[in-house]
Chains A and B, each alone.
Chain A
Amino acid sequence: MAEVRFENVNKRFGQTIAVSDFSLEIPDKEFVVLVGPSGCGKTTVLRLLSGLEEPDEGKIFIGHRLVNDVPPRDRDIAMVFQSYALYPHMSVHDNMAFGLSLRKTPKPEIERRVKEAARILGIEDLLKRKPRQLSGGQRQRVALGRAIVREPAAFLLDEPLSNLDAKLRVQTRAELSKLHQRLGTTFIYVTHDQVEAMTMATVIAVMNKGVLQQVGKPQDLYEKPGNVFVAGFIGSPAMNFFDVIVKSASDGIYLDAGSFQVPVPEERAGILHEYLDKKIIFGIRPEDIYSPRYITPGIVASPIRATVDVTELMGNEFYLHMVSGDKQFLARVDARTAARPGQEIELVLNMAKMHVFDSETQITLLS
């Protein structure tokens, strides 16, 4: 049981800045998902925390203890590697017992914990097998089991689902959430998959290019992304962005995208008054675009016209790849919508869900 804190941590590999001025406070017992595109430094953050890498600058705390100079084995954390890293010459049982026996845990206690972990993970029948006799899913469980028996202060998991097939991944996602509730321990989970982040995390930390972008509850990140990167990364399919110019008319402020104009609702206009005649970035999620005939009640509808490029029927909904001027965007509309490629149709944007960002800093203009 421990909270974890990074203070201004930097890590470089030669010329590559893997982690840059990274500060993050992880409260005890949270399920934190560190998410970001491949190569953004997520693994490096885990390795810094586990002590497998040393920071160039900054401090790392585990439960109030400064651990910069504490060797990995004394940090009281367990890590599940992306490759699982099971000891190939040891049985499943010995894989799980190895860490405990190194720490001089009494035999009966080792057996108790291994049995308990095997029961939780449903691998009791596999204890005598060698890793090569296991399927990918089973190996993944053994890797988890090896972490569980240690009863560590924090679990570090590096893309543990990336080697599983799609179906098993969905199932394991749910099981990991359950496991977290059951163990009541801090989980720090790394993934490049924002779906995993949204479904499992109690707190998401988004990273890009070694820099922490935003930290918050999944719903908050979805509704109030702090910058263009987070807005585009969280949510699937991704948010549409348009370069627009803020303009003023007699009935208020509107955004001019060249090929279409949309009014800004009064309650969202606030800060935009300072951006009159300036370029900003306007963002709208595909699910906030509607077909005029199938509008959800209560939205702030503003119509635009655009040409259908490609259509994808997903069963319960319709993905329309649209073209407006030289700009492409995606709309996720009701499956009953009538739209053929090449046709010009009317769509409705829910401006209550609009996002606007400074075009220089890419930071949100909404409070």
Chain B
Amino acid sequence: MAAVPEASGIRPILLKILARLRRFFSRLPLHVILIVIALLWLTPTVGLLVSSFRPSTEVSTTGWWTAFQTPFKFTLDNYSSVISQNGMGRSFLNSLIISIPGTVIPILVASFAGFAFAWMKFPGRNILFIFLVALIVVPIQATLIPVLRLFADTHLVGTFPGIWLAHTAYGLPFAIFLLTSFFGTLPKELLESAYLDGASNMRVFFRLILPLSVPAIASLAIFQFLWVWNDLLVALVYLQVPSKAPMTLTINNLVSSFGTQWQLLTAAAFISMILPLIVFFALQRYFVEGITAGAVKG
């Protein structure tokens, strides 16, 4: 009699293990491909990281993979010199000062605009929307001179507000397009329910639209942040003051002035990569949800 419950206890476990094995093997090819892709992407990055910790003599004579042989020769010199002597520390701060408002402002404006375009009735709505979205295709290069002249007249050249404004303007068309589309997929009855519950437009926006759109907004934030953080052109043209230069500009200067000092460049490059990595990993959960949004019904 005692054997019966025992047997019935083992069988499900066996079945479960079997099912897991089956799943593992059926997904094996997928995993192999993913691992290969990850390695391909990762190798240069690791090389960069390793190189940035090697002394200049080593960097210029041997490859980064030789660093793992004894005797280990690692140093923080590259970082200290690039931060202190070459203004990378200041630039890092500048990059933050540019990127954070350069991300927050357009997303804030675009989410208000997206709400209006998706859910409010006003004359000329469709025309205005098409016009705004069409701006996506205008190349930045075509705007540089007119905007620069406008900035010169309004004394915005070389100021942080100026570059915030520029990044906001360049980011808005796509941001409005994306958020309008996403907000538009929210069920109409949800908003109506809130209006009947006594909510104003503001309440609906902050209590319903924003919380329900976190994936879309997070994806957009990552895109916009990376774009602003990695931007060189806009900074080069509108921010002609060296003390306000972001990292991209400073690295660019490093390349021209220290053309052969690779070790400094690697350290600088790595510093500039850190924040995007942090941002991405912090928001990646939403990011994945954002790009697969609508694929799976909730």
Contact = CB atoms under 8 A, between A and B. Distances in A.
A102 B211 contact: no
A73 B196 contact: yes
Contacts of A77: 196
Contacts of A52: 192, 195-196
A98 B298 contact: no
B196 A87 contact: no
A58 interface: no
Given A83-B189, A87-B190, A89-B211, A132 B199 contact: no
A89 B198 contact: no
B195 A87 contact: no
Given A73-B199, A102-B199, A87 B189 contact: no
Contact of B196 (A79, A83, A88, A132): A79
A79 B195 CA distance: 11
B198 A73 contact: yes
Contacts of B212: 88-89
B196 A78 contact: yes
| B-side interface mostly | helix
Contacts of A235: none
Contacts of B197: 73, 98-99, 102, 146, 150
Nearest to B208: A87
A87 B203 CA distance: 13
B71 interface: no
A85 B199 contact: no
A132 B203 CA distance: 23
B9 interface: no
A99 B198 contact: yes
B192 A103 contact: no
B12 interface: no
A72 interface: yes
B277 to A, nearest CB: 29
Given A50-B196, A73-B196, A85 B298 contact: no
Nearest to A52: B192
Contact of B203 (A50, A71, A72, A102): A102
Interface in A108-147: 132, 146
Nearest to A81: B189
B139 interface: no
B187 A83 contact: yes
A82 B192 CA distance: 12
Nearest to A89: B211
A72 B195 contact: yes
B80 interface: no
Contacts of A73: 195-199
Contacts of A132: 298
Interface string A235-265: 0000000000000000000000000000000
Interface string A7-35: 00000000000000000000000000000
A141 B187 CA distance: 20
Nearest to B197: A99
A88 B298 CA distance: 9
A81 B192 CA distance: 9
Contact of A85 (B192, B198, B203, B207): B192
Interface string B172-207: 000000000000000101101111111100010001
Nearest to B189: A85
Most buried by A among B187, B190, B194, B196: B196
B276 to A, nearest CB: 28
Interface in A61-86: 71-73, 77-79, 81-83, 85
A88 B211 CA distance: 10
Interface of B: 187, 189-190, 192-199, 203, 207-208, 211-212, 298
10 contacts: A73-B196, A73-B198, A81-B189, A81-B192, A85-B192, A87-B190, A88-B212, A89-B211, A98-B194, A99-B196
Given A85-B193, A98-B207, A146-B193, 16 more contacts: A50-B196, A52-B196, A73-B197, A77-B196, A79-B196, A81-B189, A85-B187, A85-B190, A85-B192, A88-B190, A88-B212, A89-B212, A98-B197, A102-B197, A146-B197, A150-B197
